[in-house]
Structure 1
Amino acid sequence: MRQDGVALFEALAASGLRSIRYAKEAGGFRSIIANDLSRAAVESMKTNIEHNEVSHLISTSENDAT
Structure 2
Amino acid sequence: MKKVVDTRIVNHDGEKITIGNQQFKREDILLDAPDFELLRAGDPVRVEHSAKSHTIFSVKRIG
TM-score for both structures, normalised by structure 2? 0.29
Determine which structure has the larger helix proportion and give its number. 1
Q: Which has the larger radius of gyration?
A: 1
TM-score for both structures, normalised by structure 1? 0.28
